[in-house]
Amino acid sequence: MSPAFQIPPGAKVRLRRYDPADTAQAPGGKGRTVAESKQLVAKLDSLQELFYACRDASLLVVLQALDTGGKDGTIRHVFEGVNPQGVRVAQFRVPTPIEAAHDFLWRVHAQTPSKGEIVIFNRSQYEDVLAARVDKLVPKHVWRTRYRSINDFERTLVDEGTTVLKFFLYISEDEQRRRLEDRLADPTKHWKFSAADVRERPHWPEYTAAIEEMLSRTSTPWAPWYLIPANKKWFRDWAVSRILVDTLEGFHLEWPKLPRELRSAKIPA
């Protein structure tokens, strides 16, 4: 199932070839898919507990999307049952003065997962080739070198035992408009709305070009991108859950055995 969403390394990505409302890979209609998603979330809970107990490897989950793309919703629904002791969310906002005084990956590397840990990046190092490019925060010759730096950084993580899963949650321009209008209409969602949401809307073509180049240049054999059609939230949650469960099952982990010196231990009365 996973290769259906994976960007092949070296592929030239054109987003117009992808349908953000596509649900063809779903196991059935919405009802059946939502039911399977619940089963996957439960399985993810048990697999994460095993992953944490073994502490043989680490997992980095990168979530990227345009505004309203569903990063928060994915985290809330897919990871709702996991043990927070072994799962952490790192969010990257505007760099602080200290962060800005270092190289762009300095603050990112500090948030990567330890052995047995799953870390979710809500936005990531890729903001430095997206927003930094579109908003002209750095010159072109600076952001263009960052693709290589990011690929090398992720290769280092993988070589040291971290699996890197990168999801781009792809929604249409019309779907983004509907979600922004929903935020304005619903008082419980006003806190999500910001001036940046309005300011960035006219830059959709520039962001599209930046995303296409990002996916083309940083989907690598060691850390490929998964392009998830995300107009339908129920499908998005199922697709991400399915890939996570497949990945964790691929480790073929077994529960750690009791150390020999403890096998004859007696519990005091």
The pLDDT tens digits for 48-95 are 999 999 999 999 999 999 999 999 999 999 999 899 999 999 999 889
Backbone angles phi, psi at 232, to 5 degrees: -95, 110
The pLDDT tens digits for 109-134 are 999 999 999 999 999 999 999 999 99
Q: What is the pLDDT of residue 198?
A: 86
CA distances from 233 to 65, 76, 108, 184, 237 (A): 13, 12, 28, 19, 6
One-character DSSP codes across 1-61: -GGGTB--TT----GGGS-TT--TTSSSSHHHHHHHHHHHHHHHHHHHHHHHHH-S-EEEE
Q: What is the pLDDT of residue 174?
A: 97
Q: What is the pLDDT of residue 3?
A: 66
Q: Is the pLDDT assigned to residue 1 strictly greater than 50? A: no
Q: What is the pLDDT of residue 262?
A: 87
Q: What is the pLDDT of residue 231?
A: 98
The pLDDT tens digits for 236-248 are 999 999 999 999 9
- Cβ atoms of 85 and 118 closer than 8 Å: no
Q: Which domains does the chain have, with CATH numbers?
A: 2-252 (3.40.50.300)
Say how far apart CA 229 and CA 217 lie, in whole Å: 20
Mean pLDDT score, 224-235: 98
Across all residues in the chain, what is the average pLDDT?
95
Selection from 162, 147, 146 nearest residue 222 by Cα: 162
Backbone angles phi, psi at 43, to 5 degrees: -65, -40
Q: Is the pLDDT assigned to residue 265 strictly greater than 90? A: no
Say how far apart CA 25 and CA 4 lie, in whole Å: 8
The pLDDT tens digits for 182-207 are 999 999 999 988 888 888 999 999 99
What confidence category does residue 2 fall into, taking pLDDT thresholds of 50, 70 and 90? low
Say how far apart CA 18 and CA 159 lie, in whole Å: 32
Q: What is the pLDDT of residue 224?
A: 97
The pLDDT tens digits for 135-192 are 999 999 999 999 999 999 999 999 999 999 999 999 999 999 999 999 999 999 999 8
Say how far apart CA 228 and CA 102 lie, in whole Å: 32
Mean pLDDT score, 11-21: 97
Backbone angles phi, psi at 86, to 5 degrees: -115, 5
